[in-house]
Amino acid sequence: MSADAVALARRWLGTPYLHQAALKDVGCDCAGLVRGVWAELYGAPFPEVPVYTPDWFEPQGADGLLAILQRHFRAAPVAPLRHGRLVAFRMRSGAIAKHLGFVTTDGPDLRFIHAYSGHGVVESPLSAPWRRRIAAQFYFEKGE
């Protein structure tokens, strides 16, 4: 399933950034990209979509995004990074996880697809600064 998720995520490239949206070619944020790919892959909406702020409740210290991912996806080892995995990022050390992306390549030239404020859905190098921010890696497979 993970390879299928990457193929679907690639079809979202160029979608503008829009907080809390999940509409291909119209707008989405990083969580909306994941929700949209889930809906396309499984033919049903993602099962848990809370109302969230752009900071994912960081001032309150609640790691809500990571908790949702842990309920709906099976954890993968943080290393090595693999094609098709869903990756959650902490935007700074010690902060809550509040960004998501799909790893699109294996090997030394890692890349990922994500929806990024000011850029929309893009495929970016999974550079050392991004890799240092990884909080968790998940298999993009529907939990049973």
Q: What is the DSSP string of 72-129?
A: HSEEE-SSS--TT-EEEEESSTTSPEEEEEEE---SSS-EEEEEETTTEEEEEE--HH
In tens, the pLDDT along 22-49 reads 999 999 999 999 999 999 999 999 988 7
The pTM (predicted TM-score) of the whole model is 0.92
Burial of 65 (0-12, 13-18, 19+ CB in 10 A): buried
Enumerate residues 6+ apart whose C-beta is below 8 A from 89: 97, 98, 99, 100, 101, 130, 133, 134, 135
In this prediction, residue 144 carries a pLDDT of 38
24 in any annotated domain: yes
In this prediction, residue 45 carries a pLDDT of 92
Total tally of structural domains belonging to the chain: 1
Indicate which CATH number applies to the domain containing 83: 3.90.1720.10
> What averages of pLDDT result for each successive group of 10 residues across the chain (144 residues)?
85 97 97 96 88 71 86 91 95 90 93 96 97 95 61
Peptide bond into 80 cis (omega under 30): yes
Cα 53 to its chain centre, rounded Å, is 16
In this prediction, residue 56 carries a pLDDT of 65
> 114: domain range?
2-139
144 in any annotated domain: no
Distance separating alpha carbons of residues 43 and 108, to the nearest angstrom:
34
92 in any annotated domain: yes
In this prediction, residue 143 carries a pLDDT of 55
